[in-house]
Amino acid sequence: MTAAAGAPTRPEPPFVTRVVTTSRVRHYVSRVLAVIGLALVVVLFGLPLAWLVTAPFDSTPSLAVQWPDWTLSNFSAIAENRYALGSFANSAIIGIGTCVVVIVLGALAAYALSRVRIPGRDGLLYALLLLSSIVTGTAAMVPTFQLVNSLGLIDTHLAVVLVVSGGTLPTVIFILKDFMDSIPKSYEESARLYGAKPWQILRDVVVPIARPGLAFVAVWTLVQVWGNFLVPYLLLRTTAKQPAAVLMYTFYTESGQADLRLLSAFSLVFSIPIIAMYFLVNRRYGFRFHGGIKN
């Protein structure tokens, strides 16, 4: 939204009456435009999601969004699949594990970086942020695999948690640090007067205030992990340990044709927990993201 880079602000000449009428018309027009705009937003965002709501309940789903002839048989097809239910559990383990690691380590680090001037801290943070783009790419798969292998962690959920955490921590610290920078320091000062230790201050003062930020980071991390295919696929050997994101890619025939009944129902079940988590977190803690790079 580049403003018309016009002249610097000048006081408006007082054509009072005209200002009033034009502003009223303008106000009305802008209202109508806003409604139209928001309606378009609803269509843009809602349209692709419609298939996710109709197809799973259709006995013969196609790629088209159509009024389903209601059935729940597609969901029983999931239950019949040998690995489907277990894969959701695996996704949950990996997702929650990563969230816990990232939030605990991220909050500790972000708080320290926010409150203590460590030389070169911003540079370090940006460097890590950039490096994370390499490591989440495909070229780093071989080093990552070899590393996990030599640590003896192949075929463990822990390996997936650690690798994904390593890739997402820089961003998490970046976001949380911004959030903590905005927390008034007077609270901590008064807590210190009462003799609280730093970790107590973090636990009892900072974390409660930072909850919306932590909630945001938790959901963001979960979104990153939930759909990740390559990392769990390469690091896990046992089929029964694979998360849902990997299993989803097996619902295709040799020629790559999707089993729409299974896929649609699976997609819905696969998406619900993460949408539910967002609502839960939003209701309980609010969902705020505070971010402004300071100088």
Member of 17, 32, 69, 116 binding another protein (CB under 8 A):
116
- Is the CB of 27 or the CB of 70 nearer to another protein? 27
Positions 224 through 253 that interact with another protein (CB under 8 A): 226-227, 229-230, 233-234, 237-239, 245-246, 248-253
Interface with another protein, residue 92, by CB under 8 A:
no
Contact string 263-282 vs another protein (x = CB under 8 A): x---x--xx--xx--x----
Binding mask 35-64 for another protein (x = CB under 8 A): --xx--xx-xxxxxxxxx--x------xxx
Minimum CB separation of residue 15 from another protein in Å reads: 10
Based on the shown chain and the rule CB under 8 A, indicate whether residue 113 belongs to the binding site for another protein: yes
Site for another protein in 189-218 (CB under 8 A): 189, 192, 198, 201-202, 216
Angle of the 207-226 helix axis to the 157-181 helix axis, nearest 10: 140
Out of 71, 86, 100, 291, which residue is the one contacting another protein (CB under 8 A)?
291
Closer residue to another protein (CB): 41 or 72 = 41
SS3 sequence, 91-126?
A: HHHHHHHHHHHHHHHHHHHHHHHHHCCCCCHHHHHH
Task: Name which position in 32, 67, 120, 255 contacts another protein (CB under 8 A).
Answer: 255
To the nearest whole angstrom, how small is the minimum distance from the Cβ of residue 198 to another protein? 5
Cβ at position 70, least distance to another protein in Å: 19
Q: What token pair was written down for 77?
A: 């097809």
- Of residues 125-164, those binding another protein (CB under 8 A): 126, 128-147, 149-152, 154-155, 162-163
Tokens of 258: 């999707």
Nearer to another protein, 69 or 293 (CB): 293
Q: How far is the CB of 30 from another protein (least distance, A)?
A: 6
> In this structure, which amino acid lies at residue 198?
P
Count the residues of the shown chain that bind another protein, applying the rule CB under 8 A. Answer: 143
Q: Which residues are within 8 A (CB) of 12 and not within 5 positions of it... i.e. 6 or more apart?
A: 19
**Residue of 80, 204, 208, 284 that binds another protein (CB under 8 A):** 80
Residue 118 in the binding site for another protein (CB under 8 A): yes
Rounded to whole angstroms, how far apart are CA atoms 254 and 68?
Answer: 28
Nearest distance in Å: CB 72, another protein: 18
CA distances from 134 to 140, 202, 228 (A): 7, 32, 16
